[in-house]
Structure 1
Amino acid sequence: MVKHNKIIPNQHFHKKWQTSSRGPLHIKSWFNQPGKKKSRRLKRAAKAAANAPRPADKLRPLVRCQTQQHNAKVRLGRGFSLAELKAAKISPKFAATVGIAVDHRRTNKSQEALDINVQRLTDYKAKLVVFPRKGAAPKVDGAVSSLPKPAASKAPAVEFMAVPSDGEGVYDAQRATWTEKRLAGIRKKMKEEAAEKKK
Structure 2
Amino acid sequence: MKIKIMAAILAMGVVVSTYAKNIDYCKTIAFDTGGFNYSAIMQASSDSECRDKPVPIQYKGIKDTFILTSEANPTGGASYLTWDELTKTYGYDKDELKSTIHDIVKQGGDNKYIEALNPTVKIKFTPKDNGGVVVSDIIFEDEKNKPISIVRDIYFYSQDNYAAVYSSTPIKYTQKNKIFFIDEVQSLFETMNINW
TM-score range, shorter chain: under 0.3
Higher-RCO chain (CA-CA 8 Å, sequence separation at least 6) = 2
Identify, as 1 or 2, the structure richer in helix.
1
- Larger Rg belongs to: 1
Q: TM-score, normalised by structure 1?
A: 0.20
